[in-house]
Amino acid sequence: MRIRQMTVGDVDGCLRLDSSYPTAYVWHLIDHITETHIEITLERTRLPRTVQVDYPCALADLADECRTSDCFLVADHLSKLQGCINLRQRRWTNTAWIEYCAVDRTYRGQGIGSLMLEAGEDWARSAKLRQVVMPLQTKNDLAIAAAMARGYLFAGYLDRYFNNEDIGLLFAKAV
């Protein structure tokens, strides 16, 4: 397994990755805002049944990201793409934002996502950025758990962040 820079020849392979995921949990966001107080609670809630969730990025958007990304890495084993991660540098905040990160369903549970995150963090560090920000869907319970296990901390949320109008839970890690 190697993590390497994406090439033009990798675009089709990235577009073919099965980035959907099953989930039995959702993180329910409850906010209470007054003139003097903001209280936010995230509550992990079990769904009545497991549901299949599509990745919130449209494939056409991913193709555009491939051409304009600051850092687009792929996980490759024997010329077979197993995952990809795309980071964009936000110079005015000295941060890297993960715009897209997916491991094909066939290859999950093998540490590929962690290797890609580590490579993305290394890139951010070498670019002298302060932190990496990872927006996640409230339904992506496994990614939330994995991010927290890697040292990412809850850093807020953006309402209707994704194309499908899902909330983006923000997790950040100092690099």
Q: CA 108, CA 88: separation in Å to the nearest integer?
A: 24
Tell me which residue of 8, 35, 23, 18 sits closest to 138, measured CA to CA: 23
Tell me which residue of 63, 138, 145 sits closest to 99, measured CA to CA: 63
- Judging by beta carbons within 10 Å of its beta carbon (0-12, 13-18, 19+), is residue 143 exposed, middle or buried? buried
Q: Output the pLDDT for position 13.
A: 87
- % of residues, the chain, pLDDT over 70: 97
Cβ contact 45:28 at 8 Å: yes
- % of residues, the chain, pLDDT over 90: 78
Phi first, then psi, for residue 16 (nearest 5°) are -90, -10
Q: CA 131, CA 125: separation in Å to the nearest integer?
A: 8
- DSSP letter for 87, please: E
**Residue that wins the pLDDT comparison between 135 and 14:** 135
Q: CA 54, CA 67: separation in Å to the nearest integer?
A: 23
Q: Output the pLDDT for position 10.
A: 87
Q: Which two tokens stand for residue 73?
A: 């890495």
**Residue that wins the pLDDT comparison between 64 and 47:** 47
Element (H, E) at 144: helix 141-149
Q: Output the pLDDT for position 141.
A: 96
Per CATH, the architecture of 2-134 is what?
Answer: 3-Layer(aba) Sandwich (3.40)
Model confidence at 60, in pLDDT bands (50, 70, 90)?
Answer: low
